Structure 1
Amino acid sequence: MKYFVLDGKSSKDFSLRISHVSRSVLPEIRDHYEQIPGRHGSYLFPQPFGDRIVSVSCLLKTHEKSERMQTITRISAWLSSDRKRMLVFSDEPNVFYMGKVKSSPNFEEIFTFGKLTIEFVCDPFKYAMEAQEILFEMDSNSVQYISNGGTAETYPSVVIQAAYGEIQNPKITINDKYLLYNGILTPNSSIEINTESFLATKSMERDIVTTGAYDTAENNILSMIDGEFGALLPGGNTLAYSSANGRKARIRLVWQERYL
């Protein structure tokens, strides 16, 4: 029997039987077309994807009406949320959606059955269940190749660790976009650059090594980063590393593959 799991709870726990699922093949396409006088056709202005809509029709069968209404109360509490949550379908076990109920579903009683349709507004992409992680020991001015098995671009988290001594002004380049840290990494300290959340943070070790204390005010070092946040594209990608003093670094990448 087909079922779905929302925020860790299964539709089977509420005696719901799925009768129909509608999942758009692509997220909303929001491209803009401009008609040019004197020219055939139109000029395309491509735009980022919009939301993805997922609709689930369910049947609920209980022995008594009172039991049915109690179950609906439980379902209402389960569906209610002020944030997007993980949504998994049994026929797509290797991916998940991030979605939120769009509007209150109507509950219709038909003899001993109840019927309701739940519509979710989801992120444009589906996400792989398992995160990808790779570790490189990289000399300055070296390049590594990375394969992204998803069908959409994704934004990794990059950790640069001074595992081989002090690093001055480390720089990483993902494909054609670089990020340069205008600072020094003391031995064994690290910085983490999250290209999905546009965050850059120092590790706790850098203050403990230099001053014996941890300054939480320096958690965010985004002001010390120059460049652009690069994405891993579907298929092959390059990661380049260099430093001002030519020091080798340990670099870890973590990313979630995404699918159209």
Structure 2
Amino acid sequence: MIDAKVNGVSFKSLGLGLIRHDIPVLPPTKDYTIEIAGRDGELDFGVTYGPRTIELECVVMANDTTIDYHNKVAGIARVFNAKRGDQAFTFSDLPGKRYMARYSGTLPIEKILFDGRVTIPLKMVNPWPESDERVTELTITHSPEVTSITSKGDVQAEPIIVLTNTGSNLIRSFRITNEYTI
């Protein structure tokens, strides 16, 4: 079985054994095209990625068919409650990556004697996992400084730049000018 954690809590401590995870290589695409009457084909306005769905096939492991089994099921329902929002999922066979996802779907459990089988559907609204890998995205040059922007993943993305005043003086105005055409 694969060792997995949700927000740092191991699946084993929840009474879950992860048999396999289905993580698509890429999320589904959304194509932006338009057909024009009298013209062959389509005009292509680009593509974006949609949310990625993940399925975790698990076995519920209990010590008895009644109290312990129902306690495990209740614990699973508490941890995977969609109202908790995005949670961090890590897998032992995918080191250095965190998948931020929330429960999305239905959670039927097929009971087999002491145990049960369940497939947990997850949805990643931001379809890219976080990782320890760093990619240089953009270099900002301001005489005499040069600052390289690195991302937390392996796909190019627009950076989010946060400016923080660490001095004691109040900054009354500030302007950023984009020197490059986007």
TM-score range relative to shorter protein: 0.7 to 0.9
Change (3 A) 1:83 1:61: closer
Root-mean-square deviation (CA), in Å? 3.1
Q: Which residue matches 1:206?
A: 168
Q: Which residue matches 2:4?
A: 4
* Residue 129 of structure 2 corresponds to residue 126 of structure 1: yes
1:89-238 aligned within 5 A: 89-122=91-124, 123-129=126-132, 140-141=143-144, 150-156=153-159, 194-195=160-161, 199-203=162-166, 205-207=167-169, 224-227=174-177
The answer (yes or no) to whether the contact 2:5–2:90 under 8 Å persists in 1 is yes
**What TM-score, normalized to structure 1?**
0.56
CA positional deviation for 1:36: 2.5
Could you give the per-residue CA deviations for residues 104-127 of structure 1, whole angstroms, max 9, x where no partner exists?
412221223211111111121111
Q: Which residue matches 1:77?
A: 78
Q: Which amino acid aligns with 2:108?
A: N
Identity %: 22
Which one has a larger percent strand, Structure 1 or Structure 2? 1
Structure 2: distance between partners of 1:6 and 1:112: 24
Q: Which residue matches 1:44?
A: 44
Change (3 A) 1:150 1:14: closer
Structure 1: distance between partners of 2:152 and 2:62: 44
Question: Rg: which structure is higher?
Answer: 1
CA positional deviation for 1:6: 0.9
Aligned length: 172
Bigger relative contact order (CA 8 A; separation at least 6):
1
What SS does structure 2 have at the residue aligned with 1:31? strand
The answer (yes or no) to whether the contact 2:134–2:152 under 8 Å persists in 1 is no
Change (3 A) 1:154 1:20: same
**What TM-score, normalized to structure 2?**
0.77
Change (3 A) 1:82 1:60: closer
Structure 2: distance between partners of 1:12 and 1:44: 48
